[in-house]
Structure 1
Amino acid sequence: MTDFHIRYGSEVADALRDGRPVVALESTIVSHGLPRPDNLRVAREIEQAVRDAGAVPATIGMVGGRLVVGLDDAELTRLATVDGVAKLSVRDLAVAAATGADGATTVAATSAVADAAGIGVFATGGLGGVHREAAQTFDESADLVTLARTPIAVVCAGVKSILDVGATLERLETLGVGVVGFRTRRFPGFFITDGGFDLDWSLDSPEQVADVLVAREQHGAHHGGLIVANPLPTDEQLDPELHDRTLADGLALLERDGVTGKAVTPYLLAYFHSATEGASLAVNVRIILRNADLAARIAVAAAARRAGA
């Protein structure tokens, strides 16, 4: 019988066994989110940012039908450079495994696999959400429902502004997913610092976020995720006027070309990259590196809290 069990990288396996801090990382940004050859370089930089802050990186992906928590450099290179890497959400994992696929995990799939592996903190760029015109298309990211049933802390820069940000926050509230701002009371808009919506809660340090995670565990009354919204500083964001203009043009092109479903996000991100002459890519990289650093510091603080309990 074929063995479909999750395989762990040696560094990650040792850290989990010893109770050391581990941060989950997605692989979709490697295979689909960034252009070659920048994708592999940035993937390595993301892992290094986690290490520099004192935690162990666990990049999650599928290689030849086997889910791996803690891709080694050869596996990371494979997902970054070969063609035909599937984009895997939760629903795709079993089918991809049975067919021996190479696959990159989305936020939803990474969250689910990380939770199964016992990893409680995950760093990504931006969360998926409710798409514009969702009232007609019912187009909503699986990230939201997955986080409603997955007890993981996701450090992100909010949701991409190409989505319906207000509707996404409403859905998160309905689904019982906690949302806190890191040193902010405004929900970030990925490329831009302020996504235009207030938040009820703000936390000021990695230690305070860790206290929230420990409190949730001890209460035992909530099984969903916690979004830690970490905005870019205003001097590092994409120029807001350029952002708004590019978004309006991109949405018009989206309608013209009839792009729908999961093709929407990569289409618009590619347009942002070309229309801003690479400025959006530089912002994207700053986002994920900052989030990786914060997630690692949260994981370190949470591990210390548990060790002292």
Structure 2
Amino acid sequence: MSTRLFPPQFADRSERGSGGRPCRRPAVVALESTIITHGMPWPKNAETARAVEADIRAQGAVPATIAALDGKLHVGLSDGEMERLAETKTAMKCSRADLAFALATRRTGSTTVAATMMAAEAAGISVFATGGIGGVHRGAQESFDISADLEELARTPVCVVAAGAKALLDLPKTLEVLETCGVPVVAYGTDDFPAFWSRSSGLPAPYRLDTPEEIAELLAVRRSFPGHGGVLVANPVPESAEIPTAEMAGIIDAAVAEAAKRGISGKDVTPFVLALVYEMTGGRSLDTNIALVRNNARLAARIAVCGARAGMDATP
């Protein structure tokens, strides 16, 4: 799988999907790796990563987990590489601004939504599954803490399937920035914008589509526009696994307040809040996180397969 936009010394150009097998099928789904290194504890992270890849294969697509290992950007990990990444305690959390440093200094790093989109485009992959995107943090009017994921969605032609934005964020402002950036936000099978652990944020979704075929058609039309960017497909967590907004709101507020009290800022906020929410929910938030990631992977695979069947070019 070619990472053609990266210098050869910094890119793993092996023709494989995760697991090291040949990867020449057109329906490929990119996967981020920050959820492995910073989003879940060992060994749940490795178990979930393997389950997500299996879910994608079961839908007829090929998974490609993306990470930087020893200064090379890998699009698709072997079982050994996946295990190594899941066990490491020293991986950098790499967004667009960090990736060049990680590669130049021969570091190992996991990719955020923004960096994964960047690498996916370079490899000719147009569909990407994640848990939830980053966005506008609470208090951003003072801190200016806004995730690079939003600008990446505006500039990079990759479809991101997520359970909305992470619920610890300012969701109304996140939707406003996405609109300003010209990013279509499409809810799958619902009129509401989901809130990660919860099926509804209480905010209306800008658009709704009900089938993978409809989403694939939207991507094909958008791909025909000059200078087009990405699309956010907001896929609510399965009802059986959700923690309702009414229950989560107070927990999230308390976790965000604790982060502020401890002076935690920047890219450290999300991992801290996720860990604290895990404690406060007695582990339920992790079960929900796993369910929504797997749900997003299955939908992303179906979208990729629909696009491939319709003869869409895998390269945006």
Q: Give me the TM-score of the superposition, normalised by structure 1.
A: 0.95
CA 1:2–1:60: 2 relative to 1, 3 Å: closer
Q: Is the 8 A contact 1:214 1:306 kept in 2?
A: no
Aligned length: 305
Contact 1:126 / 1:156 at 8 angstroms: preserved in 2? yes
Q: Matched residues, percent identical?
A: 46
Asked if 1:199 is matched to 2:205, the reply is: yes
CA contact (8 A) 2:201 2:245 kept: no
Distance 1:307 1:62 in 2: 29
Corresponding residue number in structure 2 for 1:112: 118
Q: Is the 1:9–1:71 contact (alpha carbons within 8 Å) kept by the matching residues of 2? A: no
Helix, strand or coil: the match of 1:43?
helix
Inter-CA distance 32–307: structure 2 relative to 1 (3 Å threshold):
closer
Alignment partner, residue 4 of structure 2:
none
Equivalent residue of 2:9, what SS? coil
Question: Which consecutive unaligned segments of at least 5 residues does structure 2 have?
Answer: 1-6
Matched, 1:93 2:99: yes
- The alpha carbon displacement at 1:307 in A equals 6.2
Length-normalised TM-score, structure 2:
0.93
* 1:1-309 paired onto structure 2 within 5 Å: 3-11=9-17, 14-15=22-23, 18-217=24-223, 219-306=224-311
Q: Against the structure 1 CA distance between its residues 249 and 131, is the aligned structure 2 distance closer, same or farther, given a 3 Å change threshold?
A: same
Letter in 2 for 1:113: A
Structure 1: gaps (5+ residues): none
| Structure 2 letter corresponding to 1:232 | V
AA at the equivalent of 1:225 = G
Provide Cα deviations, 1:37-75, integer angstroms capped at 9, x if missing partner. Answer: 111011000100100111000000011100000011111
Give the whole-Å Cα distance in 2 for the aligned partners of 1:5 and 1:80. 21
Could you say what secondary structure the match of 1:10 adopts? coil
CA shift for structure 1 position 7: 2.8
2:27 & 2:118 partners in 1: Cα distance? Answer: 18
Which has the larger share of helix? 1
Letter in 1 for 2:280: A
- CA–CA distance in 1 between the matches of 2:138 and 2:211? 33
Q: Which amino acid is 1:190 matched to?
A: F
**Aligned-pair CA distance for 1:20:** 2.0
Deviating 4+ runs (over 3 angstroms): 11-15
Q: Which amino acid aligns with 2:39?
A: G
